[in-house]
Structure 1
Amino acid sequence: MHSTVWTILVAAVTAVVVSIANGLIVTPRMEARKKRLGEVHSARDSFSTHMTTIVSACVRLLSVPPPADDDLAWTPIMRERLSGERARWLQQIDDSTRWMIDNVATYAGSWPLRRLVEFATAYAANARMVMLSEREETAKLRHLMDLTRPVQRQFFGWPWSRARHHFADRRAFAATLARLEREATAS
């Protein structure tokens, strides 16, 4: 009888000690980790959203050019409205590239491979510089699309698509960077 009581008492004390240690040590660490991982995934989702915003705004701007000055089918009010929409779409691109460069450490640093960190960082920096450049609007839009599409597929495409297009996307990105460099030195 004595050994049964002793066994139950030791088990109860052990359970209390383990429960207290778990509550004081393990649980706070797990909650902090959960919060960090949530922030990382939220930043990655925002990165994806901003790339989608850039591509869609570029497509809209290229698809809806400003009307010619001599086109009589456009009233002054419609010209002003279209001009306002185009300015808003350009502002969306500007806001997205600004967010990406300001938050690059949050989302880029979350990928485990150094080449992915460098890819995301190079993309954010170059996309922002294209947006800040004095290039013609159409050239900016085309460069942004050329920069964004391969990066978007490598980070957020289907896994089979990422693997299948890995080298082609890297070459396309490098070719766009080389083209940007040539244009910058030619100016």
Structure 2
Amino acid sequence: MDTFSDRLAEMLELRHMTQADLAKAVGVGTGTVSYWIKGGAKKPAKYLPAICAALRVTELWLVHGVGEPEGDGIERVEQEVPVSEITNDGFTRHVRMLDYQNLERDGDYQGYMLVDSEILQVGSVIIVDRRKTGSGLYLCCNGKEVFLSQRKDKITRASWHHITDQKVNLNNLEILGYVCGLINNREW
């Protein structure tokens, strides 16, 4: 595993994700993911936070092969995470508790299972930390639509890139949390 593309392909297989699963989670086409895996991009910087969040790996390991794939020096534990289903009408209802490994000890976690989604396969779960802030990938809701947004912190402000075809009404925007895990429907 000498290259970014080798490590990317290995993590897709390890996480039981298809190229299409990763493409949806990151907000790109499947051809782009295929290009990355074939070695067409040494480091797709614009999408690295989203790729790492979807695959639950550190950027340092994915790009350079340094350190452990899932280790970043932060104490991580297994926790029970409540999972709620987001229905087509935008409401949530509790579905179950899920044991999830590799979570920071002091996070405030919630899982969201999307019933009708262009982001993931139906039945997949996105785990978010409702307290964490800063640059990264976030799960957001705007009325009935649930989508991913990428936040980039700058010196004086934060900029957002919403990964959706719909117009985002900022007055209605609800940030559900910082994406820290993704479980496709075959894993649980």
TM beyond 0.5:
no
TM range (shorter): under 0.3
* Bigger strand share: 2
Structure number with larger C-alpha Rg: 1
**TM-score (normalised: structure 1):** 0.23
* Bigger helix share: 1
